[in-house]
Structure 1
Amino acid sequence: MPQHVRGVIARAKGEPVRIETIVVPDPGPGEAVVKVQACGVCHTDLHYREGGINDEFPFLLGHEAAGIVEQVGPDVTDVAPGDFVILNWRAVCGKCRACRRGRPQYCFDTHNARQKMTLAEDGTELSPALGIGAFAEKTLVAAGQCTKVDPAASPAAAGLLGCGVMAGIGAAINTGGVGRGDSVAVIGCGGVGAAAVAGARLAGAARIIAVDLDDRKLSTARGLGATHTVNSRTSDAVETIRELTGGFGADVVIEAVGRPETYEQAFYARDLAGTVVLVGVPTPEMRIDLPLLDVFGRGGSLKSSWYGDCLPSRDFPLLIDLYQQGRLDLDAFVSETIALDEVEEAFARMHKGDVLRSVVIL
């Protein structure tokens, strides 16, 4: 029987979000209903509210989530009611050319639940953020969006792997290929950049240089493994990174802002034959202008990292194990826990840079 639950809805561009009653249908083939326990407040949710993703209002916001599988539809075998899961927005198809080549992390045909959740008052179909919609007491997703992990993990910390933390860690380890003894610079130390610092530390980087305009974020980055910090308001980021790497530049530079200016910094702050990883999300109008001779002459790799090039079924359980062992401090990313009706205020704190992550507890 369909269930009526509370959820955070963005009705129109720029309007404050509000709590409304939504209808969650019974799961169909390949679908699951998840009772949400915790969901992080991510910049992507704010982008949805501002119309920066698309204009398919109304949106059911929230996507960095963990919870308990409550029901599954026909033909679902990978998860069962009672499983503790982290939700992801890339349920792989297993059939596309990437999947057939053994690279499901690049799946070109990821999918979400086929059925739509709706507003209880008039049946309007909702667009769930990143196909998840987890600022709600319960949500409907494709079963492949559920990754089973150790139920002893804190839901508030575990859910953050569903987006920003995984994006940052994956940018360092999966996309950047950071290895033991490497030098790494991370430009932009919000949630994703801070996670990239943590990922570089996990990979065994010898020197990890965190760059930001905010000393609070730099302090957090140092706690997560940065060996050096650079406030680019007062220091030239490129010159300082070079000074800290023997005059050469870093082996891997991760750009976690998504702006032309910071991408150019990343490009010139890397060593010859080094790697630049773009994980910050640019807006459609942004352009980059680099001398083609410099692109050719400096060699190396210019990469983009989408969701940290992760494979949730592989990466989520591994990172939860590292968290349980005390080797990955996911709790450090949780700045505060809030109620479902405090999301709008959390957006304001996030926009000001006052928090790394607010996490809704249900």
Structure 2
Amino acid sequence: MAYEVAGLVARSKGAEVTKETVVIPDPGPRDVIVSVAACGVCHTDLAYRDGGINDEYPFLLGHEAAGVVEVVGDDVTHVAPGDFVVLNWRAVCGSCRACRRGRPWYCFDTFNASTPMTLADGTVLTPALGIGAFAEKTLVHELQCTRVAPDTDPAIAGLLGCGVMAGLGAAINTGAVSRGDSVAVIGCGGVGDAAIAGARLAGASTIIAIDRDTAKLAWARDLGATHTIDGSQAADVVEAVQELTGGFGADVVIDAVGRPETWKQAFYARDLAGTVVLVGVPTPEMQLELPLLDLFSHGGALKSSWYGDCLPERDFPVLIDLYQQGRLPLEKFVSERVGIDDLEAAFAKMKAGEVLRSVIVL
């Protein structure tokens, strides 16, 4: 039996989202219908709306979500009705070349639902990151559902579905931050502050937050930064990082902005043989120019972090457990809880840097 639910749709490039009737078909053999409890407002949703991802309009937005499994397909074994789950966009296949090499966090053939959701007139919807969770219910593949402790606040749990996991994973998984390391994070929005929280969780001794916004720097301190650098005031950000690290630079520098200028700062602000992690997403036109000799002489590792190089089944339950133990303050990322009609206002606050995360509660 098909369901008709309310959902938020981007119909054309740059147009404001509209609340539409979304038709959810019967689940395929390995698909499930999830009743969405809460979904964070991520910059990726804005990028979909504004044409920064692709042009496969209309989009059903939303992907940073948690909810309860309601209906399952005939062959589903991974979850059952009633399970509380966080949705993910890395449902690894287990058989592609990355998975076969033991690197499933790079899976090149992740699973999505087998049949599309549509508008009431039959128009096929493209769900954001294969999820589409700014809706009362959504249809996903069973492996896009990760069970976590059912007593977790959905507004908090859902943030692991994208931005917070991206930042935490950039520090813990990609950057391999360990006890006593020095870490610098450039850009202290939701992803950057999650990287700071991850560095603190991993035991870094010096955690330097870099941003041009004093409010964001205050958030960074609250989440574990030991030092802050105001990029609008510092004469040279690289020198400022070196001054805080004995003149050497940081062991790990995480660029959560994703611009050529900030990546170069990250490159030169690290210690000799240190690690640079790019987790901020560049736009297609951006170009990087760097002396090849500098690349050789500095050594170390230059990495990109996709979704925090996470494995949802491994990472989500552990991080929720750490949150429940009081060791990971995920609740601090929820700046406000809003309704399904408030998405455009939430986008505006996000662009203005007024929030870490707005969360739509359904």
TM range (shorter): over 0.9
Which residue identity does 1:238 align to in structure 2? V
Q: Where does residue 87 of structure 1 map in the other structure?
A: 87
Structure 2 unmatched runs, 5+: none
State the distance in 1 between where 2:82 and 2:189 align: 34
State the distance in 1 between where 2:97 and 2:57 align: 32
State the distance in 2 between where 1:312 and 1:71 align: 21
Q: Where does residue 304 of structure 1 map in the other structure?
A: 304
Answering whether residue 114 of structure 2 is matched by residue 130 of structure 1, we say no
Which residue identity does 2:104 align to in structure 1? P
Q: How many residues align?
A: 361
**Equivalences for 1:283-322 in 2 at 5 Å?**
283-322=283-322
**Equivalences for 1:45-194 in 2 at 5 Å?**
45-120=45-120, 122-194=121-193
Once structures 1 and 2 are overlaid, which stretch shifts more, 25-34 or 242-251?
A: 25-34
- 3-state DSSP of counterpart to 1:23: strand
| 1:111 Cα deviation after fit | 2.0
Structure 1 unmatched runs, 5+: none
CA deviation profile, 1:201-228 (whole Å, cap 9, x unmatched): 0100000000001011110110110000
Give TM-score scaled by structure 2 length: 0.99
| 1:101 Cα deviation after fit | 2.3
| 1:196 Cα deviation after fit | 0.2
**Equivalences for 1:197-212 in 2 at 5 Å?**
197-212=196-211
Which residue identity does 2:316 align to in structure 1? F
Which portions of structure 1, spanning 4 or more consecutive aligned residues, are displaced by more than 2 angstroms?
A: none
| 1:110 Cα deviation after fit | 0.8
Give TM-score scaled by structure 1 length: 0.99
Which residue identity does 2:192 align to in structure 1? G
State the distance in 2 between where 1:104 and 1:277 align: 19
- 3-state DSSP of counterpart to 1:277: strand
- 3-state DSSP of counterpart to 2:133: coil
State the distance in 1 between where 2:108 and 2:21 align: 34
State the distance in 2 between where 1:9 and 1:347 align: 14
Q: Where does residue 273 of structure 1 map in the other structure?
A: 273
Which residue identity does 1:243 align to in structure 2? E
Percent identity of paired positions between Structure 1 and Structure 2: 73
- 3-state DSSP of counterpart to 1:67: strand
| 1:281 Cα deviation after fit | 0.1
Q: CA RMSD in A?
A: 0.6
Which residue identity does 2:286 align to in structure 1? M
Which residue identity does 2:291 align to in structure 1? P
State the distance in 2 between where 1:98 and 1:75 align: 25
Q: Where does residue 330 of structure 2 map in the other structure?
A: 330
